[in-house]
Amino acid sequence: MHTLLSSKWLASKWTKAVLFLLCLGPLAAIIWPFVRGYTIPNPLEFIQHATGDWTLRFLVITLSITPLRQLLRLPELIRFRRMFGLFAFFYACLHFTTYLWFDKVFDVHEIWKDVYKRSFITVGFLAFTLLIPLAITSTAGWIRRLGGRRWRILHRAIYISAGW
- Residues binding ligand HEM (CB under 6 A): 45, 48-49, 52-53, 55-56, 92, 95-96, 99, 121, 124-125, 127-128, 131, 161
Nearer to ligand HEM by C-beta: 22 or 132?
A: 132
The CA distance from 81 to 41, in Å, is 36
Report DSSP letters for 2-53, one per residue.
HHHHHHHHHH-HHHHHHHHHHHTHHHHHHHHHHHTT---S-HHHHHHHHHHH
Measured from the CB of residue 120, what is the shortest distance to ligand HEM in angstroms?
7
Nearer to ligand HEM by C-beta: 77 or 134?
A: 134
Nearer to ligand HEM by C-beta: 79 or 104?
A: 104
Selection from 62, 120, 126, 115 nearest residue 90 by Cα: 62
Nearer to ligand HEM by C-beta: 57 or 69?
A: 57
Measured from the CB of residue 26, what is the shortest distance to ligand HEM in angstroms?
12
DSSP type of residue 79: G
Measured from the CB of residue 161, what is the shortest distance to ligand HEM in angstroms?
5
Helices (DSSP H) in 72-118: which residue ranges? Answer: 81-97, 108-117
Cβ atoms of 76 and 68 closer than 8 Å: no
Measured from the CB of residue 73, what is the shortest distance to ligand HEM in angstroms?
30
